[in-house]
Structure 1
Amino acid sequence: MDSVYLHFLDSAVSLYNSPEMRLLVLVLLIVSAASSSPLQNANHIFNAIHSSMRQWGSSWNHNGMSFFLATVPQHTVLYHGSHSIEPETGPNWLAFEPEHALWFANIWMKGPSDSAHAATTERHSGYSNQVILKPEEVPRGWLHTYEAARDLRLLYVDGISAGKSVMGTLDSQDRILFNDTIKDSHDDQERASTACNIFRNDWGSRIDGLLRMETGFEVILCDFDRNMHRINVLRGKPHPENGNFAKPAGGEMWRLYKVIAERFGGIGGGRVQLNYDHFVTAYNYPTLDLFKESAEIPRLKNLSLKLLEPMKRDLHRLVMDNDPGQISYNWQDITDLIITRYANDLRYFVSRKLDTKNALQLEIERVLLPFIDFDNRDFNAEINRCAAQFLTASQPAGTLASVAVKSVTTSICTTLRSALDLKEYNNIVASIQELIDYLAWTVWRECPQKCQSDEVCFIPIWPGGTVEDRENPQCKDRANNSSGPPYWDKRPLVETTNSH
């Protein structure tokens, strides 16, 4: 809402003494009243809900700022890649897709601890390294298939929270959950051990593991013996006799990307259930300046521990006061309804294909027709009806999710309704463009055309991708590899500030 307010303010100044001035002042008063809500980051909270457990939105908004309670239902099938045939005891990793698990059964992921996520193997973000070994020296891994022996109670960290980059993907874990105790940004072994100690000792074993995302979603599970039942184990594919092993093999990497691209819209199959009635997000703390360094990418790294303490306390309270398995309202469904209703229309309104003011306003009015009583025109009532389209009495009121959704729909409806009264074509387009910039929906970042069956819409997902892939996502096939400066870790590492 603040961005809409600023646009109208600029318009009012530029139109000083014009016939539109009186109307704009009225709109300013209305928008200013709405923008006084304490939920100043409603757009980011809305987007966190919408992108949760979705590979696309979580990859675009890769610096997750939120923690959700999650449940993986009993009997859900998960996969583990290992260099050992023996069952795991934990803590260790599980993947939702078998190709993701197979990745860690390969030779390039064999580290000194023989763990699928050995710290030294996580240091390489490139795909071109070669390992030359004699055939008899090459360990072949195993793919273990497990099913959940009980409902798994997990803490979900959103964004690309399993990506070992210096761009902020680890901020929420390392600063909030681990309290700056992880000194090596690549040391996921220590993260697993520290997380399980917290879950067991500080949280009374109310949480079974950590749910994160990189090139696929994964679970760091603390106790395999108690929580998982192994149902199958398969030996990996033999390696070439010439001893040339790509690190990793390009075809396998491409297969993995194709698999996770099928999860762009969600993990699917009811495999994860999130609690949207109670969650913790850095966007809900007005004292946290998350965008100090960048207008697009939030960071926690330079905030003092004192400023972060309220969020840490709230995360502890979230876990101790709530059961991850409790039924909550699915606010993500509501964000889907809102985005599918307005995303294409908003983009159409700023395309200038409607090239006259009358044509543009007529099309905007058609969107608002269900909310207008033409025998009793009322500016505020029309906005309220529009904003409440997907809100019902059955939904929990007063939760963070409900307030964020209502705030975002009010921003949309206020902008569209106000556009009907503006006199200048350019002002109408500018006001809607300001709204689009404020909403920042990830659907607007998708590839402009539908990809072919051998292609995927390619964006940077740690550890792969280039700056160009971020700035201009395109459909690509295996032969059309990315080139140019890498996106990840392109910025110098800045040490976390631990001042009090």
Structure 2
Amino acid sequence: MRSQSLVAALGIGSAALALHVQFPANTAGETCVRPSDIINLNTPSYSLSSNTEQWRFDEGPPENATGNLIFDTVHSFLQHWPNTRYRNGHNIVPGVIPMGTLLYHGGNSDAIPSGPEWIATDPEHSIIFARGRDGGGWHLTLAATRPLKVLYFDGSSAAKISEGTMDTQDILAWGEVQPERFFDERQRIRDLCTWGKEFGIDGFARMEMDFEVMMCDFTAGVEVVSFLHVRVLPQDGNPYFPHLLSPPAFDSDAGTRQFEVMHSGSWHNRYPGDSRIVLDLTGLISLYDAALAPSLISVRAGIERWDHRVFGISSDDISQVMRKLTEAVSRPEPVGSGIDWKTLIHVIVDRYADRLELMQHLLNFTSSDSQELFQRVKLAQTQLSVMLTPYLLDSTIVPSAGTPGVDASQWASPIFRLCATTHTSKMIDHTSSMTPSERLLLKAVEETTREICRVTTKMWAHGVMSGLDSLFPVNAEPDTTQIMNYWRHDIQKLMSWLDWSVWVKCRPACGPEEMCYLPTWPVNAPRPRHPRPPPRDPWNATDAPEPDHLADRVGPPPEGPTTPTEEWRKPQPKCIRRVQPYTF
């Protein structure tokens, strides 16, 4: 009776008692079930704010759910590591660069740019463009005199390749995705700035080896801190495009400066990322939003996340995206609920990331010794209890093992519900003050925490009914081999669905002369079959608008690029040297 009272107190209707989940067989005679029977991906969409929600352990996320993708991309904003791993961005986010922030620009003359140009957030990035005929160059340092209004494109959005990194920019600049224009940088910056002028946008934030801003006007919102004629040793070739250099040249002074751009980018690998750009998530535009861009559902169907991109979006969806973006950047003052979505999402990742990783480690264990297996599965059960501790109610009643007609979901579903809703239950009362972007974020957080809690509570309840839990003792003899196999499957499936880049790291850790690295544009990008010809003026890397300028070239080399390798398509971490001789 106490368990029924608890269910009523938590507001779970009688329908929630008609749950069905089965666990592997043990000596107490429980029914065995295949892992494929436990998770049903073809279920209708759910809403955690609904009072009629059925907290079923066998009801996983819908097959085309994108809440996990929205959650992870938002968690990854302005972090170099995850946006190098998944290069093709799907988000456009308003933001500001705070007053007093320093920004950098390198050039071949002492003239301040009179039109749109690129600026860097770290001087290591801009200094490679400070190159003149006399072996020196000019390096400009600017300070923001007011908050600079920017739009941020996530992913490796400054990587000049045709496979999707610039899709979202194309929509703004040209009204459609034009992958053949991946190298049309000069026209891209002009057209983006022309579009943004109406809304007072000062620039567009992107990422390649490090973060940069496509600055529209060097006379608005910034002032000169210094404009220095710096000494740069003469070099052969073009350090910005190392596929134009022979391998020995990368160990030259030019190569050192090239490497230090990637090194400075690595400072922003993890949270909080590049904090000099402050994003306004109340204006988030996500192309993973199925309601905003439904045409992309079929484009993504059946392909791996590495290959997700915006190319293939319908013209109607583009129009809808542009309407929503225009509304977001036209707001005269801040709006929304006031919820700190960025912190909320990072709190959830901090809470679960290392614990799920530890569970994966504990379960990656085999032994012919039954006692060793038992001790290992007990350790795993302890970790499940640790994750669920705030929700383990003292009033919980666990039926005896083998009790006829009772399954674990009848007593454990309240714990599942508490775990899944604690972070968001009070937010639901304030949805009327939320922007559409915030409601999308709320749904993403709900879907993500629901799946984490569904899987971990199901595993924990299985352990309890198998006699593995010291807080809720049950007299049972566990089949540790089956439990380990099922739990290993469950954790792997959950972590693959979450796909958090915090779990992608170099193992073993890199040495003091190394850093952990993911293949990066342009160093590891597929090379042309024949080297792209250098600019007419070899000292003019990307700054001056001369006709033969690299940034003015449209499309791939005449011979076409080589086929991307698996190492490039699916970047995996590796240790590379931080000192010469460099390795990539």
TM-score of the alignment, normalized to the shorter chain, above 0.5: yes
2:530 corresponds to 1:430: no
2:227 is paired with a residue of what secondary structure?
Answer: strand
1:379 is aligned to: 412
Shift of 1:292: 4.3
> Do the aligned partners of residues 18 and 47 (structure 1) sit closer, same or farther apart at CA in structure 2, a change above 3 Å counting?
same
1:142 is aligned to: 138
> Do the aligned partners of residues 258 and 392 (structure 1) sit closer, same or farther apart at CA in structure 2, a change above 3 Å counting?
farther
1:161 is paired with a residue of what secondary structure?
Answer: coil
Question: What do residues 55-109 of structure 1 show as CA deviations (whole Å, max 9, x unaligned)?
Answer: 11211121110011111111111111111212233311111000111122236xx
2:345 to 329, 335, 338: 335
1:440 to 486, 499, 507: 499
2:276 is paired with a residue of what secondary structure?
Answer: coil
1:19 to 20, 31, 34: 31
For residues 246 and 27 of structure 1, what CA distance do their matches in structure 2 show? 54
Aligned residues of 2:119 and 2:215 also touching (Cα < 8 A): yes
Shift of 1:328: 5.1
Aligned residues of 1:276 and 1:329 also touching (Cα < 8 A): no
For residues 246 and 195 of structure 1, what CA distance do their matches in structure 2 show? 27
2:305 to 287, 296, 299: 296
1:451 to 493, 507, 510: 510
2:284 corresponds to 1:279: yes
Aligned residues of 2:519 and 2:567 also touching (Cα < 8 A): no
- The aligned amino acid for 2:115 is G
For residues 24 and 267 of structure 1, what CA distance do their matches in structure 2 show? 38
Shift of 1:407: 1.5
Pairs within 5 Å for 1:82-161: 82-106=107-131, 137-138=133-134, 140-161=136-157
Aligned residues of 1:145 and 1:231 also touching (Cα < 8 A): yes
For residues 326 and 97 of structure 1, what CA distance do their matches in structure 2 show? 32
- The aligned amino acid for 2:230 is G
For residues 269 and 176 of structure 1, what CA distance do their matches in structure 2 show? 24
1:111 is aligned to: none
- The aligned amino acid for 1:473 is P
Question: What do residues 267-324 of structure 1 show as CA deviations (whole Å, max 9, x unaligned)?
Answer: 6684221112231101102522342473122112133323433223222222224657
2:419 corresponds to 1:419: no
1:163 is paired with a residue of what secondary structure?
Answer: coil
Deviates more, 1:144-153 or 1:444-453: 444-453
Q: Which runs of 5+ in 1 are unaligned?
A: 1-10, 108-136, 484-500
- The aligned amino acid for 1:212 is R
Shift of 1:231: 1.1
1:362 to 382, 402, 410: 382
What's the TM-score once normalised by structure 2's chain length? 0.67
CA RMSD of aligned residues (A): 3.3
2:285 is paired with a residue of what secondary structure?
Answer: strand
For residues 378 and 67 of structure 2, what CA distance do their matches in structure 1 show? 32
2:486 corresponds to 1:476: no
- The aligned amino acid for 1:191 is R
Aligned residues of 1:199 and 1:205 also touching (Cα < 8 A): yes
1:494 is aligned to: none
For residues 274 and 169 of structure 2, what CA distance do their matches in structure 1 show? 27
> Do the aligned partners of residues 385 and 326 (structure 1) sit closer, same or farther apart at CA in structure 2, a change above 3 Å counting?
closer
- The aligned amino acid for 2:138 is W
Question: What do residues 443-498 of structure 1 show as CA deviations (whole Å, max 9, x unaligned)?
Answer: 11122244334321111222123754755312221346445xxxxxxxxxxxxxxx
2:543 is aligned to: none
2:68 is paired with a residue of what secondary structure?
Answer: helix
For residues 232 and 130 of structure 2, what CA distance do their matches in structure 1 show? 12
For residues 417 and 330 of structure 2, what CA distance do their matches in structure 1 show? 37
Pairs within 5 Å for 1:139-288: 140-180=136-176, 184-200=181-197, 204-240=198-234, 244=236, 247-248=239-240, 249-266=254-271, 270-285=275-290, 287=294, 288=296
Shift of 1:223: 1.6
2:330 is aligned to: 320
> Do the aligned partners of residues 267 and 293 (structure 1) sit closer, same or farther apart at CA in structure 2, a change above 3 Å counting?
same
Shift of 1:177: 4.7
Deviates more, 1:252-261 or 1:169-178: 169-178
Aligned residues of 1:276 and 1:328 also touching (Cα < 8 A): no
Deviates more, 1:303-312 or 1:414-423: 303-312
> Do the aligned partners of residues 36 and 299 (structure 1) sit closer, same or farther apart at CA in structure 2, a change above 3 Å counting?
closer
Q: Which runs of 5+ in 2 are unaligned?
A: 1-20, 41-53, 241-253, 366-372, 398-410, 432-437, 467-481, 526-565
Deviates more, 1:260-269 or 1:52-61: 260-269
Kindly name which structure, 1 or 2, has the bigger radius of gyration based on alpha carbons.
2
> Do the aligned partners of residues 294 and 166 (structure 1) sit closer, same or farther apart at CA in structure 2, a change above 3 Å counting?
farther
For residues 274 and 238 of structure 2, what CA distance do their matches in structure 1 show? 33
- The aligned amino acid for 1:62 is R
For residues 461 and 325 of structure 1, what CA distance do their matches in structure 2 show? 37
For residues 454 and 97 of structure 2, what CA distance do their matches in structure 1 show? 39
> Do the aligned partners of residues 89 and 149 (structure 1) sit closer, same or farther apart at CA in structure 2, a change above 3 Å counting?
farther
1:406 is aligned to: 446
For residues 353 and 289 of structure 2, what CA distance do their matches in structure 1 show? 25
Aligned residues of 1:70 and 1:153 also touching (Cα < 8 A): yes
Shift of 1:150: 1.2
2:88 corresponds to 1:63: yes
> Do the aligned partners of residues 61 and 471 (structure 1) sit closer, same or farther apart at CA in structure 2, a change above 3 Å counting?
closer
For residues 155 and 274 of structure 2, what CA distance do their matches in structure 1 show? 20
2:355 to 345, 349, 367: 345
For residues 274 and 23 of structure 2, what CA distance do their matches in structure 1 show? 53
Aligned residues of 1:71 and 1:325 also touching (Cα < 8 A): no
For residues 509 and 385 of structure 2, what CA distance do their matches in structure 1 show? 30
> Do the aligned partners of residues 293 and 215 (structure 1) sit closer, same or farther apart at CA in structure 2, a change above 3 Å counting?
farther
Aligned residues of 2:99 and 2:143 also touching (Cα < 8 A): yes
